Amino acid sequence: MIKVLLYEDSPQLREGLTMLIDGSDGFTVLAAYKNCDHAADEVAAWQPDVILMDIDMPGTNGIEGLKHIRAVNSDVKILMLTVFDDNKNVFEAVKNGANGYILKKTPPAKLLEYIEEAASGGAPMTASIATQVLKMFSQMNNVQSEDYNLSDREKQVLQLLVDGYSYKMIASEMFISIDTVRSHIKKIYEKLHVNSKSEAVAKAFKDKLL
């Protein structure tokens, strides 16, 4: 029996989904809520196998709810069920640990298949969403290839900055003088077009330079 927890602000859709899932062999709806205000606590209390979650809800929306749940539970399967198939929402959902992303216009039989697929460890996505995700990842890979022409030595210094090393610690680690460290860091700032350590570290993460 696949235990489902439902988050959907439309009473009609909430009721319709509950009837569909509950009325199908092998599925049960534990509870249904209109927003994610207490999602982490509700998930802990009900222990569902799969969560079906709308994105656009009053109060705490689906993306925020997803973050709250993932902060305390990395195992439960979370499917975003939404009318949105725009890049921003897809990216935010995937980035924050959604297991799948399906549109509300999905036919009922297909929806049950998706829930089953998620429960068994799959990552179901409506075809139009899957296309976007592939496109996003190919774009991200293009960004990764932009390494700002940092030398291996400069990348090593940047990695130590990311790891929280001071100039003195970097000098000791790399067996170079503090003046040489300063020179490397000045060049790194120029190549990355940043003015501070925090900006350089942020850019290293954002553009996956290391």
Domain boundaries, the chain: 2-134, 152-206
Are the beta carbons of 2 and 26 closer than 8 angstroms? yes
Are the beta carbons of 40 and 86 closer than 8 angstroms? no
**Per CATH, which fold does 152-206 belong to?**
Arc Repressor Mutant, subunit A (1.10.10)
Assess if CATH 3.30.300.130 describes domain 2-134: no
The whole-chain average pLDDT of the chain stands at: 90
**What is the pLDDT tens value at each position of the chain, 210 positions in all?**
999 999 999 999 999 999 999 999 999 999 999 999 999 999 999 999 999 999 999 999 999 999 999 999 999 999 999 887 777 888 889 889 999 999 999 999 999 999 999 999 988 988 888 887 777 777 665 555 466 889 999 999 999 998 889 899 999 999 999 999 999 999 999 999 888 888 888 888 878 887
Are the beta carbons of 161 and 194 closer than 8 angstroms? no
